[in-house]
Amino acid sequence: MDLTIGELSRRTQVKVPTIRYYEQIGLLPEPVRTEGQQRRYPENEVKRLNFIRHARELGFGVEDIRELLDLAARPNQPCHEADSIARRNLEAVDRRLAQLGALRHELARMVEECQHGRICECRVIEVLADHTHCSHDHH
């Protein structure tokens, strides 16, 4: 039984505009259409769309997802390529966590050094106005 876009959305918890976007960029194949131009999706698109949604939730980019979908379509192949994609994303997460740690440290320092006086003496405003007052390079 084919599904409407609304039913596919309900089953996968992916919004209709996002489903259309995934079709537009080729992550989902173009569905067949009825005579009234309504999209109709085969049941197996639920699994594919859930895969895409979960990959997005884990931070994978569109190109990585495209590659992972291609790999998933060849189940008897070695998985080193999928591992490589996941490892690359893990390294990116580790970099972001390090950056967030530095940002957190800088914000905490700014707040701690603020004397809660007047704006003209405010450490938060002073540090934001002049990057040389920062203790870390957080670009």
Summarised one tens digit per residue, pLDDT across range 89-102 is 999 999 999 999 99
Phi, psi of 48 (to 5 degrees): -65, -45
Residue 131: predicted pLDDT: 72
Residue 34: predicted pLDDT: 87
Q: Per-domain residue ranges for the chain?
A: 5-77
- AA identity, residue 82: A
39: which DSSP letter? E
List, for residues 4-43, the tens digit of each pLDDT value: 999 999 999 999 999 999 999 999 999 988 888 889 999 9
Q: Compute the C-alpha angle 70/72/77, nearest 5°.
A: 95
Which contiguous run of DSSP H or E holds residue 104? helix 80-113
List, for residues 54-91, the tens digit of each pLDDT value: 999 999 999 999 999 999 999 999 999 999 999 999 99
Query: pTM here?
Result: 0.78
Separation of alpha carbons 97 and 128, rounded Å: 22
Which fold would CATH assign to domain 5-77? Multidrug-efflux Transporter Regulator; Chain: A; Domain 2 (1.10.1660)
Is the Cβ–Cβ distance between 72 and 45 less than 8 Å?
no
pLDDT at residue 134 is higher than 90: no
- AA identity, residue 16: V
Phi, psi of 31 (to 5 degrees): -80, 160
